[in-house]
Amino acid sequence: MTAKILVVDDNVANQKVLTAKLSAEYFEVLTARNGPTALEAAARESPDLVLLDVMMPGMDGYEVCRRLKADATTRHIPVVMVTALDGIQGRIRGLEAGADDFLTKPVSDLLLFARVRSLVRLKQMTDEWRLRAATGERLGVESCPDPSAEGARILLVEPAASRAGELARVITGEGHVVVTAANAREALERESGADVVLTNLVLGEDDGLRLCSQIRSQPTSRHTPIVLMIDEEDVASLAKGLEIGVTDYLVHPIEASELKSRVSTQVRRKRYQDRMREEMERSVSMAFTDSLTGLYNRRYVEAHLAELVRLARTRQQPISALMIDLDHFKRVNDEHGHPAGDEVLREAARRIASSLRHFDFVGRYGGEEFVVVLPGADAGTAALIAERVRAAIATLPFQISAPAGALELALTASVGVACGPKDAPADLIACADKALYAAKHAGRNLVVSETSDAAEAPPRALSA
């Protein structure tokens, strides 16, 4: 995972230690030694995460965090405060300032890397939703107002009835509705519609981490924040939980003010992301979808790609594009009629979309051609995703209705891969289209990269 981390600490030795650890994990590291410099760097460089020392001369970490969260250009950057203090009041003060988490010095490598990767994934997903909403606004779709953060539905999973009652009283005191579950089975039955899931790691005979994984895999709760309640010694389990999708955590004994603050933070984040998704879906349904497949249309793809390429160039990050063409598609229309061809296109769109990462997007470019944009993907990652798409088309026959009865059609696709950023968005599409042509020329049902010297020699196929 490539990401840009801003380390803010007035102690040079601490800076060097964190820089060395993060660089060894292939993160790009920026540094700042005081609050004003940190604010300037955050606005200028747009990092994916800020590791912020609390105790600094002049402007302390709490004030830096407040200013970051008050600025529209930086408020969506996750902030992890690093402190030598381990008091509850300091954590509450940081949460009220907008911090996403705390790490206590000396920082555990296991917890550091797990928390950084978890928050960076969240940031990248949020960035994509924000960017899609901005694309819609540029194309004339008005933004809807921010939703209310009151009256959230909280699923509390706690086998101890007395503890569940205490926690529920604190949360309902904030105006939220609490639904309780004593085990994993009840939790899965009641998770639908929850704004936040608050679950203990220890659930009697059930595995709390397995429950978190199941909640994260359900379509109805895929984006629901999960707050894990753990004991002090459960750092290894917490690191695993963050890897599988846990959003935040609380350590027993749980203090009421911290519980209220963390739950409120997650409710606001969930409502904001829901609003972003709703805006994107609304804008797309109005003007930017292909009526047959439900995918983005060419107009939206080209507008959004321009912004993604600009962002990739600014952040010096890769971006890739795939051009996908169904092989011999004309035969389907000629031999079985256009309704059968429409069924093939709809199913192909579904298979392509299900083969992508959650922040990638796919559009119908025209006819039987599809384009996929892969933010942050280098040549190797793009080739792997392209092969996954190709296999998704070719592995199973298409089930098609026809006047003479149901049909099974074996179809394949050719895929061209291009990596950028290029000088212009159109160049990225043109290179992917050239690679697609080479895949067709080489025999179809292939993935070919733009690096294959296809114009001068037989293309180097990345897969068959």
Q: What is the pLDDT of residue 314?
A: 86
Q: Which residue in the block uniquely carries the two structure tokens 């011999």? A: 328
pLDDT tens per residue across span 272-285: 778 777 776 666 56
Q: Which residues of the chain have pLDDT under 70?
A: 1, 85-87, 129, 132-133, 135-149, 280-287, 402-404, 452-464
Which one from 343, 347, 368, 450 is the annotated catalytic residue? 368
Element (H, E) at 37: helix 35-45
Q: What is the pLDDT of residue 406?
A: 82
Q: Would residue 281 show up in a list of annotated catalytic residues for this protein?
A: no
- 79-84 long-range Cβ contacts below 8 angstroms, 24+ apart: 79/49, 79/50, 79/52, 80/49, 80/50, 80/51, 80/52, 80/115, 80/116, 80/119, 81/52, 81/53, 81/54, 82/9, 82/18, 82/51, 82/52, 82/53, 82/54, 82/107, 83/53, 83/54, 83/55, 84/55
User: Phi, psi at residue 404, to the nearest 5°?
Assistant: -85, 0
Nearest to 132 by CA among 18, 249, 289: 289
Q: What is the pLDDT of residue 276?
A: 73
Q: From CA 185, how far away is CA 201, in angstroms rounded?
A: 15
In terms of DSSP bridges, do strands 202-203 and 79-83 run parallel, antiparallel, or are they unpaired? unpaired
Q: Which residue in the block uniquely carries the two structure tokens 């088309």? A: 393
Q: What is the pLDDT of residue 283?
A: 63
In terms of DSSP bridges, do strands 361-366 and 369-375 run parallel, antiparallel, or are they unpaired? antiparallel
All structural domains of the chain, each given as residue ranges with its CATH number in brackets, are 4-107 (3.40.50.2300), 153-278 (3.40.50.2300), 289-463 (3.30.70.270)
Query: What separation, in Å, do the N-terminal and C-terminal C-alpha atoms of the chain show?
Result: 27
Mark out the alpha helices in 61-207 (DSSP H runs).
Answer: 61-70, 88-97, 109-138, 161-172, 184-190
Read off the amino acid at residue 292: L
Mapped onto helix, strand or coil, the DSSP state of residue 256 is helix
Sign of CA dihedral 55, 58, 64, 70: positive
Q: From CA 167, how far away is CA 146, in angstroms rounded?
A: 28
